[in-house]
Amino acid sequence: MNIINLFRIAWKALLRNKLRAFLTMLGIIIGVASVITMVAIGEGSKQSIRNQLSGMGSNMINIRPSSNFTVGGGARLGASSLQTLKVDDVNAIKNDAHFITAVSPGVTSNGQVINGALNWPTSIQGVSPDYLSIREWGLKDGINFTDEDVKTAAKVCLIGQTIVENVFVNGENPIGKVIRFGKIPLKVIGILTEKGENTFGQDQDDVILAPYTTVQKRILAVPYVQTIYASAVNEQSSDTATKEITAILRKQHKLKATDEDDFNIRTQAELISTISSTSELLTVLLAAIAGISLVVGGIGIMNIMYVSVTERTKEIGLRMSIGARGIDILLQFLVEAILISVTGGIIGVILGISASQLVNMILQWPILISDSSILLSFLVCAVTGVFFGYYPAQKASKLDPIEALRYE
Amino acid sequence: MANPILDMQHLKREFKMGSETVRALKGISFSVNPGEFVTIMGSSGSGKTTLLNIVGCLDQPTEGDYLLDGVNVRYLSRNQLARLRNRKIGFVFQSYNLLARTSALENVELPLLYNSGISADVRKVKAVKALEAVKLSDRLDHLPNQLSGGQQQRVAIARALVNEPVMILADEATGNLDTRTSYEIMSLLQELNTQQGKTIVFVTHEPDIAAFSQRTVTLKDGRVIKDAKNENVRSAREALENLPVNDDY
């Protein structure tokens, strides 16, 4: 018997029992649709977290003093109170590291920003002009400050959108205006593009950027830096860059081979993988639940095929008496099972994609329909058809034609 | 004389029922020539059904040889038997055994689906021809439940004819039909036999039906007790005409 005949026979057999075929399919449809939707939601949330983190600069490397470093008496101190990182360290990294494209010191102070009658509590970040490229941050308006501004500890600043909204009245152009941070007047020379909230819900636009020298000398009156921001050549090289920085800083700080690092390096890549793994788990869980429903659907197929074989014993007898071989009967029932599962799979894929889009539209959840989840669930349901269809089909093919013909 | 279509030599068939052995056929020998119309008669328990199964290549003898169109059936595998049934035998059953919710045409096409040498176009042509032969060319798309018993049995006969078998094997083919319809079916079979030279083996327990055939083989207790030529074959067509037109309704 050729393959077209085989499909023709199986298809006609299914059409003779449309409702039952559809109900059996329903199990598979729901299974496949839920796998696709669940994975789309899981992948979507993973993707959006990833995007947010990358928005902070996916190559970014953060260096802070280590609280593992102990000062006299063995007491460990909080990172912010440590003064081990110097501007010299920043320069050393800038000059010696090969896998670093940009580096910037960072000093922060909290305070009140005042413009005329309006004021707002915020923080000021003292950085170098390279900071914007490290954070992959742009200017909406105005210009960045320069190395010259750093050298002279110029009283200039860049402000985030939240500051614009809170200390400037509507329509007022902040560029060129002088605002005060605490007692220090700062001229606004640029407005940062909006970044929104970060993954942890912090408003990234609630910030003032100024030359680090300005913050060190005029606001905090400290010689050290609190953080060093650096940017690796690319995401892959952040590990190499980390090693490089470690070597440079250990040399700078004259640490002996036995000493622990007195600083702490964190890469954005690390953070991304940590958070991604959490949502990875979510995806796997969702997929597992959906997978179970696919298996239940498969058992439904097996059940129906069993009933069908018993119910159609006489038909099987007839087919055998007019020349169907055991293998023909086996293949017919197997193909029926596969047709049910594959047709169900196709409908399930369509339904799953639509459901994902609906979730996206109505609930505004990010979704990501991956080709692999479609392919996988489709394969699984085809395999389900073969697996759960085989046993009943084999039972049918083993029937004795004489007994099958006499079956009532 | 041509080689017999069906040649049986000392056919025996035994069944094991637990520790007992039931001997259903105890040595049957007879042959059927091409173009013959033979009825096999016998009451229940005579071994009639067992013989039918063997003749129909659904079962194999325990002992003795059965040659169908020159092929010894005894040593064939299950698949070879299926092929033989497909190419050489056309079955007609008592209960028609048509596939429900399947048109007459598709029912007739069924045996051809299991013959991979036949294309879809040829299949349809052959099926239509077979239905024409049983005078149902105006019922091609009817479903079995839209057909009368006699019409259903004629579809079944068309299905048996479609593969151009060497032999039509009918198992109590008139058992479910009233007298008039039975005669109609017998008339059709006689026509196929005389006009197209089809070999027909008809298993029945009604002497009335056996009178339409050229020869009757009678079985009893697993043996042939009588194998006689029928000197004056009744014509089913005449019998049909002689039936009172209006039954007492």
Domain ranges within chain A, ordered by starting residue: 3-52+274-406, 83-261
For residue B72, the one-letter residue type is: N
Confidence of residue A382 (pLDDT cuts 50, 70, 90): confident
Tell me which residue in B87, B97, B115 faces A314 most closely, judged by beta carbons.
B97
Q: Please, which residues have CB within 8 angstroms of residue A198's CB and are 6 or more apart in sequence? A: A52, A56, A204
Tell me whether B159 touches chain A (CB under 8 Å).
yes
Given a contact cutoff of 8 angstroms between Cβ atoms, the answer to whether A89 and A230 are in contact is no
Q: Output the six-digit token pair for A25.
A: 């399919």
**β-strand partners of B169:** B91, B201
Q: Select the highest-mean-pLDDT range: A192-196, A380-384, A400-404.
A: A400-404
* pLDDT at residue A61, rounded to an integer: 86
Which chain A residues touch B113 with a CB distance below 8 Å?
1, 5, 8-9
Integer Cα distance of A205 and A160 in angstroms:
5
For residue A169, the one-letter residue type is: V
Q: Please, which residues have CB within 8 angstroms of residue B58's CB and are 6 or more apart in sequence? A: A320, A321, A401, A402, A405, B81, B85
Q: Which residue of B has its CA nearest to A322?
A: B86
Tell me whether B110 touches chain A (CB under 8 Å).
yes
Integer Cα distance of B119 and A406 in angstroms:
32
Integer Cα distance of A250 and A36 in angstroms:
50
Q: Output the six-digit token pair for B139.
A: 């019922």
Residue numbers of A between 292 and 331 with CB closer than 8 Å to B: 314-315, 317-328
How far is the alpha carbon of A374 from chain B, nearest alpha carbon, in Å?
35
**For residue A17, what is the enclosing H or E element?**
none
B7: closest CA among B226, B170, B237, B167? B167
How far is the alpha carbon of B100 from chain A, nearest alpha carbon, in Å?
8
Helix/strand/coil for A314: helix
B contact test, residue of A322, A331, A398, A405 with most B CBs within 10 A: A322
Mean pLDDT of all residues belonging to chain B: 90
Tell me whether B53 touches chain A (CB under 8 Å).
yes
B64: closest CA among B229, B222, B226, B228? B222
Mean pLDDT of A150-167: 91
Integer Cα distance of B208 and A363 in angstroms:
80
Tell me whether A408 touches chain B (CB under 8 Å).
no
ipTM of this predicted structure = 0.92
Which chain A residues touch B91 with a CB distance below 8 Å?
321-322
Judged by CB atoms closer than 8 Å, whether chains meet at B82 and A320 is answered as: yes
A contact test, residue of B92, B97, B113, B161 with most A CBs within 10 A: B113
**β-strand partners of B22:** B15
Mean pLDDT of all residues belonging to chain A: 85
| H helix runs in A214-370, sequence order | 238-252, 268-311, 313-321, 326-363
Task: Give the tens place of pLDDT for each residue, A207-254.
Answer: 999 999 999 998 888 888 989 998 888 777 888 888 888 888 888 888
Instruction: Assess whether pLDDT exceeds 80 at residue B141.
Output: yes
Task: Give the tens place of pLDDT for each residue, A73-115.
Answer: 566 665 556 778 888 888 888 888 888 888 999 999 999 999 8
* pLDDT at residue A8, rounded to an integer: 82
Tell me which residue in A314, A328, A405 faces B114 most closely, judged by beta carbons.
A328
- Higher pLDDT, residue A262 or B199: B199
Judged by CB atoms closer than 8 Å, whether chains meet at B111 and A405 is answered as: no
* pLDDT at residue B234, rounded to an integer: 87
Integer Cα distance of A389 and A331 in angstroms:
10
Integer Cα distance of A78 and B210 in angstroms:
112
* pLDDT at residue A81, rounded to an integer: 63
Integer Cα distance of A61 and A66 in angstroms:
15
Helix/strand/coil for B13: strand
Q: Output the six-digit token pair for A77.
A: 């101190």
- CA Rg value for chain A: 34
Task: Give the tens place of pLDDT for each residue, A280-292.
Answer: 788 788 778 877 8
Given a contact cutoff of 8 angstroms between Cβ atoms, the answer to whether A238 and A229 are in contact is no
| Cα A142 off chain centre by | 33
Judged by CB atoms closer than 8 Å, whether chains meet at A1 and B59 is answered as: no
Confidence of residue B87 (pLDDT cuts 50, 70, 90): very high
Given a contact cutoff of 8 angstroms between Cβ atoms, the answer to whether A147 and A179 are in contact is no
* pLDDT at residue A267, rounded to an integer: 82
Q: Output the six-digit token pair for B162.
A: 């479609």
Helix/strand/coil for A163: helix
Q: Residue A98 CB: number of other CB atoms within 10 A?
A: 9
* pLDDT at residue B227, rounded to an integer: 92
A contact test, residue of B94, B114, B171, B203 with most A CBs within 10 A: B114
Tell me whether B76 touches chain A (CB under 8 Å).
no
User: Which has the minimum average pLDDT: A26-35, A64-73, A395-404?
Assistant: A64-73
Tell me whether B227 touches chain A (CB under 8 Å).
no
Q: Output the six-digit token pair for A390.
A: 């085989």
Task: Give the tens place of pLDDT for each residue, B153-192.
Answer: 999 999 999 999 999 999 999 988 898 899 999 999 999 9
- Measured in Å, how far apart are chain B's first and last C-alpha atoms? 51
Integer Cα distance of A399 and A404 in angstroms:
7
DSSP string over A23-82:
HHHHHHHHHHHHHHHHHHHHHHHHHHHHHHHHHTTTTEEEEEE-TT-EEGGGEE--GGG-
Given a contact cutoff of 8 angstroms between Cβ atoms, the answer to whether B68 and B112 are in contact is no
Which chain A residues touch B120 with a CB distance below 8 Å?
4
Provide the pairing of β-strand B63-68 with B37-41: unpaired
Instruction: Assess whether pLDDT exceeds 60 at residue B1.
Output: no
* pLDDT at residue A80, rounded to an integer: 58
Judged by CB atoms closer than 8 Å, whether chains meet at A8 and B59 is answered as: no
Provide the pairing of β-strand B63-68 with B223-229: unpaired
Place of tokens 């102070």: A109
* pLDDT at residue A397, rounded to an integer: 92
Integer Cα distance of B46 and B205 in angstroms:
10
Give CA separation, A380 vs A372, B236, B249, in Å.
12, 61, 63
Instruction: Assess whether pLDDT exceeds 80 at residue B245.
Output: no
Judged by CB atoms closer than 8 Å, whether chains meet at A322 and B99 is answered as: no
Judged by CB atoms closer than 8 Å, whether chains meet at A323 and B78 is answered as: no
- Percent of chain B past pLDDT 70, that is, above it, reads 98
Tell me whether B88 touches chain A (CB under 8 Å).
no
Q: Which domains does chain B have, with CATH numbers?
A: 31-48+77-241 (3.40.50.300)
Tell me whether B143 touches chain A (CB under 8 Å).
no
**β-strand partners of A190:** A142, A158
Integer Cα distance of A64 and A228 in angstroms:
7
Given a contact cutoff of 8 angstroms between Cβ atoms, the answer to whether B180 and B236 are in contact is no
Confidence of residue A71 (pLDDT cuts 50, 70, 90): low
A287: closest CA among A50, A36, A46? A36
Judged by CB atoms closer than 8 Å, whether chains meet at A9 and B91 is answered as: no
Task: Give the tens place of pLDDT for each residue, B21-76.
Answer: 989 999 999 999 999 999 999 888 888 989 999 999 999 999 999 999 888 998 89
Tell me whether B91 touches chain A (CB under 8 Å).
yes
* pLDDT at residue A76, rounded to an integer: 62
Tell me whether B100 touches chain A (CB under 8 Å).
yes
- Measured in Å, how far apart are chain A's first and last C-alpha atoms? 28
B contact test, residue of A6, A315, A321, A335 with most B CBs within 10 A: A321
Tell me whether B124 touches chain A (CB under 8 Å).
no
Mean pLDDT of B97-115: 90
Q: In terms of residues, how long is chain B?
A: 249
- Percent of chain A past pLDDT 70, that is, above it, reads 94
Integer Cα distance of B138 and B131 in angstroms:
9
Tell me whether B93 touches chain A (CB under 8 Å).
yes
Judged by CB atoms closer than 8 Å, whether chains meet at A321 and B58 is answered as: yes
Given a contact cutoff of 8 angstroms between Cβ atoms, the answer to whether B166 and B129 are in contact is no
Judged by CB atoms closer than 8 Å, whether chains meet at A402 and B86 is answered as: no
Which chain A residues touch B93 with a CB distance below 8 Å?
318, 405
